[in-house]
Amino acid sequence: MTTHRHLLLACGLLALAACSPEQPPVPQPPKVGVIEVQPQTVPLQRDLVGRLSPYRSADVRARIPGVLLKRVYEEGSDVSEGQVLFQIDPAPMQAQLGIAQGQLAQAEANYANARTAAERARQLAPQKFVSQNDLDNAIAAERSASAAAQAARASVRNAQIDLGYARVTAPISGRAGKQQVTEGALVGQGEATLLATVDQLDPLYANFSISSTELERLRGAANVALSGAGESTVQVLLSGGRAYAHTGTLDFSATTVDPSTGTVSLRAVVPNPDKALLPGSFVTLKANLGELHDVFLVPQPAVLRDAGGAYLYTVGEDGKVARKPLTAETAADGQWLVTSGLDAGDRVIVAGVQKVQEGAQVRPAPWQPEQPAADAPAPGPDAGADAQPAE
């Protein structure tokens, strides 16, 4: 009887257990991809807008009055220093040179006669054959004739220079522009007439500016080391964001602020051996102005923004999420440059940011950037084993 009672009690307990509701499993904390950040030194770069200008630009002008006979060079071609570009009618200068040469011959003859007379007077003066007054007059005449001959030689030299100016040459090597005066025009009357311009295109100047406020902030920052002229580099970006093949070097920084714009003028020298860059063009410049010390590079998905500014989430040793406000600016290659708000060794959440909230428990795992589709390996039987979970 007792055994029967025990069997009934056991069956009742089993039936009661079968009717009780099943307890749901405790959900696991979401898995997130994290990176451990460390301070590092990175280049101090700024994207600026600049304008290209010739390294040297020289006006080709008529330096003597005359009629322009012909243009010798081809417009838009490269010319060398000293190359003849224009020819001015040399006939008036040749005639003037002939007159100056004749005057020189006459002056030299007069000087020769005066010198002979003075020498004779010097020889006769000790014997008292000539008076002292005659001797003084002979010596004075010799000196005057010598000065006249010297002036005549200068006139000849001046006439030769003017005749040389009839052949208008390139003052520098570079690319000659279009002709400003046509053949047959009278040039050089009262002023040096502009005939053309020669621009040196290799290298070029890149002129740009930076806000004086920004420059003052960089100079006052403890973690910024600015480079001087000759050390800072400038990269020219072509259309489509393509980097120009040759890197420029900063060679000038103004010591005053432009009161109309509040900026400081800077200038860089950019090699242009292929003449691919043209003066007058506006270009985007990536200026490397120095170095930033003790900063952090964080992948772009990790940085969020709200009304309070930029922030990100980190995972503590206890596995809980902490929110950290920070100061950040865009850097290259899809990363943010964090200058304040992080500490060395912080584990920053990069993947799964949308699933976490401050104070929640998470399961951190090392984050790996996604590979481009073209470079990704073909999926195998174990594909997805290392992928970030979407829980």
Cα gap 203→171, rounded to integer Å: 17
Q: Are 63 and 189 in contact (CB under 8 A)?
A: no
Average pLDDT of the residues in 235-243: 86
Three-state SS for 89?
coil
For residue 339 the two structure tokens come to: 């200058």
Please state the pTM of the whole predicted model.
0.68
For 99-138, write each residue's pLDDT tens digit. Answer: 999 999 999 999 999 999 899 888 888 888 888 888 888 8
Model confidence at 9: pLDDT above 70:
no
- pLDDT confidence tier of residue 155, bands split at 50, 70 and 90: very high
Average pLDDT of the residues in 223-251: 84
For 314-335, write each residue's pLDDT tens digit. Answer: 999 888 999 999 888 776 677 8
Those residues with Cβ within 8 angstroms of residue 299's Cβ, 6 or more apart along the chain or in another chain: 35, 334, 335, 336, 350, 367, 369
For residue 202 the two structure tokens come to: 């290799």
Cα torsion 129, 133, 136, 141: sign: negative
For 195-220, write each residue's pLDDT tens digit. Answer: 999 999 999 999 999 888 888 888 87
- pLDDT confidence tier of residue 8, bands split at 50, 70 and 90: low
Paired residues of 292 in beta bridges: 42, 224
Model confidence at 4: pLDDT above 70:
no
Model confidence at 15: pLDDT above 80:
no
Q: Among residues 304, 369, 366, 310, which one has the least CA distance to residue 339?
A: 310
Model confidence at 62: pLDDT above 90:
yes
Q: Which residues of 73-82 are buried (b: 16+ CB within 10 A; e: fewer)?
A: beeeebbeee
Q: Are strands 224-226 and 193-211 parallel, antiparallel or unpaired?
A: unpaired
Distances (CA, A) of 379 to 158, 366, 385: 87, 21, 11
Average pLDDT of the residues in 352-376: 78
